[in-house]
Structures are given as structure tokens and as C-alpha cells.
């Protein structure tokens, strides 16, 4: 794989709904094993979301070299405001440790589309 190639790794759970907000996430890894562990965690989360729809969808996940890019489509503004920074909590910190990462390896951007 050439480092500059953008490769789809997960299709996401996107529906036809129009989001009111979007979160874009980029994670940088130092090795392939940790990147693959992260993909497995995201895959499990996608599978869980498909069985119990929420006021958000996961966007597709792509990788470029040792970076992962994905996003969240939010459909309820109050829910977005309440949950948009949940990745900073202790539970998510434990998840990040499962693929040898921490919040410092993340770039997270939030955008409010419609309100």
C-alpha cells in the first residue's frame, strides 16, 4: 500500500437522515498493529449501532498511511451538545488504551450544520 492512498476500511452506518451537526476525527498511529486494533474497535461500535439506532450515525472510515479518518453525523442538537466531547471521558480513555493511543493522538473537529 502506498502511503498517500486513501483506503475505505469501514462503510459506516449512515442513513438518509440529514445531520444537524458533524464531528470529524483523525487519529495518528505509530504502527500498523495499533491501527488495526482501532479498526476492530470501530467495527464493533458500528455493529452495535446497527442493532440499536441512536440520534447519531458513524460516517465511513478511511485510512491513509498510519492515519484513520472517520466522523459522526448528529441528528439532535441537544444530544450533540451533551455528547460531543464524550471521547474525553475515562471510559473512552480505556478504549483508546486498548489500541495504545491517547487523546493527544486525536484531532477532533465539530461543525453545526443546521439548527
Angstrom distances, CA of residue 26 to CA of 18, 76, 96: 22, 23, 13
Distance between CA 35 and CA 38 in Å, rounded?
Answer: 5
pLDDT, block means (10 residues), the chain with 115 residues: 80 86 96 95 83 83 96 93 90 88 92 78
Predicted pLDDT of residue 50: 74
Rounded to whole angstroms, the Cα distance separating 89 from 97 reads: 13
**pLDDT at residue 17 in the model:** 86
Q: Note the pLDDT of residue 3.
A: 55
Q: What pLDDT is stored for residue 1 in this prediction?
A: 52
CA distance linking residue 113 with residue 115, whole number of Å: 7
Domains and CATH numbers, the chain: 6-112 (3.30.70)
Amino acid at each position: 500500500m502506498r502511503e498517500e492512498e486513501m483506503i475505505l476500511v469501514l462503510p459506516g452506518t449512515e442513513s438518509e437522515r440529514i445531520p444537524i451537526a458533524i464531528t470529524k476525527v483523525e487519529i495518528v498511529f505509530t504502527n500498523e498493529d495499533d491501527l488495526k486494533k482501532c479498526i476492530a474497535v470501530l467495527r464493533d461500535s458500528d455493529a452495535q449501532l446497527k442493532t440499536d439506532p441512536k440520534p447519531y450515525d458513524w460516517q465511513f472510515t478511511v485510512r491513509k498511511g498510519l492515519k484513520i479518518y472517520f466522523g459522526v453525523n448528529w441528528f439532535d442538537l441537544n444530544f450533540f451538545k451533551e455528547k460531543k466531547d464524550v471521547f474525553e471521558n475515562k471510559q473512552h480513555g480505556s478504549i483508546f488504551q486498548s489500541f495504545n493511543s491517547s487523546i493527544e493522538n486525536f484531532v477532533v473537529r465539530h461543525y453545526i450544520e443546521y439548527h
